[in-house]
A = this chain, B = another copy of it.
Amino acid sequence: MSAVRELAMRAKQASRRLAVLSTEEKNALLSAMAEELTVRKKEILEANRKDVEAGKTAGLTGALLDRLELTEKRFAEMVEGVRQVARLPDPVGEVVRKWRRPNGLEMEKIRVPIGLIGIIYESRPNVTVDSAVLCLKTGNAVLLRGGREARHSNRALAQALGEAARKRKLPAEVVALVEDESREAIPEMCRLDGVLDLLIPRGGHGLIATVLEHARVPVIKHFHGVCHVFVHRAADPAMAEAIVVNAKCQRPATCNAAETLLVDRDGAEKILPRLVKALRARGVRLFGDEAAAKASGEKLSPPANWETEYLDLTMAIRVVDGLDGALEHLARHGSHHSDAIVTEDRATAERFLREADSAAVYWNASTRFTDGGEFGFGAEIGISTDKIHARGPMGLEELTSYKYVVTGRGQLRE
């Protein structure tokens, strides 16, 4: 048996212990973890410095080094995040529905933990702690596989969490870190059917392709967002400008930032010059189709395609034939993540909200709101780009399954 499978089986065994803990016991575990992280702060930051040094030597870009670094402030926020999750309501045990059958059977549908959840993520080491505590709060054990550039940080963090579990008389493997850095580790996690109940890959094309290729376990992908703002002919121009600029520029590297601006052919000549000017003023590099160039009176070269997630200050502009053209574009080129319409016309907005097949659809608001915190979920483990089980921001509730509890007095099936 591979080391990964052995570790996963110990974590699965540990998940049975977690599943029957009360909310108070789980919260006490999280508090103990916050405490242990605090106690070990010095050695964790030391481990992190090793990773940052190694990253510099290996020539990581500034952006990657920044993601890797645990500053004092980030460390404090990470620990405070653990305490915040402890304070959130626990969905496990919630009676979703309760009913009685004509034969007298008492039926309850009850939220339960999923079991063992695998998470594959990239550089940021605080994800180790963030995702572990969300899983633990919902009674799940977690099998983590972080980026190799954060290896020392992840090990130090996982050891702190494991030690806190041990102090609470629980197996350290409630948080199991896969330290195998070979290419085989991810395919192996994908093939842990019967052990791993769910796998959540968070990352780019390469990771998602590998997971899709090998997965025999259920997967909820946290993949890219090619998000759109559609400016309808009946849009308020100032609002359209503000929303387009916010959706593109406020934090362009996120999955809910807009990549494509769709403009209604009717009215394009009025609104587009203003939008182009505002975007250019923020340093946005623009692509556009011929009609967009004409309507804006600007030189725009066409984008290579309409499916690219730029993740930077780049935007593609397309002129479409009204709502139908916008919906057709979304169906053909969109990633079904977050899409907005700007219009003062209620009937058009309502059709857009109903017919755009996206995890989050917005009327007169920025796509940047697709986020567990902004939605009021208190925390999120990521944003699902799948439609099964969880869609959009995934909070605690989405880390649970359910069971049916049936109470009888000897009822038999006839």
What's the nearest-Cβ distance from chain B to residue A221, in Å? Answer: 9
CB within 8 Å for A99 and B389 given contacts A105-B369, A246-B413, A365-B410: no
- In the assembled complex, the Cα of A364 lies from the Cα of B105 at a distance in Å of 10
Chain B residues contacting A387 (CB-CB under 8 Å) are 114-115, 197-198, 218, 401
Query: Looking at chain A, what size class is its interface with the partner chain?
Result: 35 or more
Chain B residues contacting A112 (CB-CB under 8 Å) are 357
Chain B residues contacting A401 (CB-CB under 8 Å) are 387-388, 391
Chain B residues contacting A391 (CB-CB under 8 Å) are 401-403
Chain B residues contacting A216 (CB-CB under 8 Å) are 212-213, 215
Chain B residues contacting A363 (CB-CB under 8 Å) are 405-408
Chain B residues contacting A44 (CB-CB under 8 Å) are none
A290 at the interface (CB under 8 A from B): no
- In the assembled complex, the Cα of A239 lies from the Cα of B20 at a distance in Å of 29
Main secondary structure of the interface of A (DSSP, over half): mixed
* B403 adjacent to A250 (CB under 8 Å): no
A141 at the interface (CB under 8 A from B): no
* A101 adjacent to B376 (CB under 8 Å): yes
Please name the residue on chain B nearest to A387 by beta carbon. Answer: B401
Chain B residues contacting A212 (CB-CB under 8 Å) are 193, 216
Q: Among B331, B353, B365, B389, which residue has its beta carbon within 8 angstroms of that of A16?
A: B331
- In the assembled complex, the Cα of A358 lies from the Cα of B404 at a distance in Å of 8
> Which of A360, A364, A403 counts the most chain B CB atoms within 10 A?
A403
- In the assembled complex, the Cα of A361 lies from the Cα of B357 at a distance in Å of 36
CB within 8 Å for A20 and B355 given contacts A197-B387, A218-B219, A365-B406: yes
A19 at the interface (CB under 8 A from B): yes
What's the nearest-Cβ distance from chain B to residue A118, in Å? Answer: 12
* B404 adjacent to A366 (CB under 8 Å): no
A243 at the interface (CB under 8 A from B): yes
- In the assembled complex, the Cα of A331 lies from the Cα of B195 at a distance in Å of 12
What's the nearest-Cβ distance from chain B to residue A309, in Å? Answer: 16
A287 at the interface (CB under 8 A from B): no
Residue ranges of A at the interface with B (Cβ–Cβ < 8 Å): 16, 19-20, 99, 101, 105, 107, 112, 114-115, 193, 197-198, 212-213, 215-216, 218-220, 236, 239, 242-243, 246, 250-251, 331, 349, 353-355, 357-366, 368-370, 374-376, 386-389, 391-393, 401-414
